[in-house]
Amino acid sequence: PYRVPLAGKLTHCLFDKTGTLTTDTLVPVGVVNRSSEPGADGHLPKVQVADAETPAALVLAACHSLVLVDGKLTGDPIEVAALQGIGWSFDSQAETASPQSTQDSPKGKKQGIKSVRILQRFHFASHLQRMAVVVEVATDGSANLEGPGTYVLVKGSPEAVKKLLAKDTAPGWYDKSHTDLAERGLRVLSLAYRRLPTRQDKMAREEAEKDLIFAGFIAFECLVRKDSALVIGALN
């Protein structure tokens, strides 16, 4: 009952746009690799997600909380879109991701990686603005990494991940790049990793998420619903 008089004081009602003005499907629109260099206009080139360099692809392939339900990957739409974008598959029972080339993702690249098995997962925490996993990486020797072994993979907001990078390792264009992408209405995640000297199945989060190497950014967009203009026009 106390809500009735309170509602009478309202003059405006605001709604979150995802799934209302826009569709509830996030589309990966590109990756900024760590080796990128700014163009003449000062902006960094954004490549297709399928062309993500090995470190970025590694984070996208295994740093998630997806599960397989009735043969379909289920979980955060961003994580599903990212995995499909790089053309990898994930076996949630074996906790293993592996590259593939299918009819749906013909550009899936192995990039020298045979498989990535999740050993430990630090779930996304809103107050930390990130998630992380400890994984075992198997390669064929040609991967653009420090070799096979145990890695920590982290993804999260650009601001949160930057604080975890090894000292003075963030590229000079780090802040400008993710700000430019955000100003275009894109959702941006920063990707980072590091190789552990020895295998460690159980680590404290604070021990895992430190001295990271920047791997790149991935950007997503929510397309506007076809009927949004009609509805807004009717409301006006």
Catalytic residues: 16
* CB contact at 8 A, 218 and 81: no
C-alpha to C-alpha distance for 143 and 53, rounded to whole angstroms: 10
* CB contact at 8 A, 66 and 75: yes
DSSP-derived letter for residue 7 is H
Rounded-to-10 torsion of CA 38, 42, 43, 44: 10
Compute the residue count for the chain.
236
- Residue 143 DSSP SS3: coil
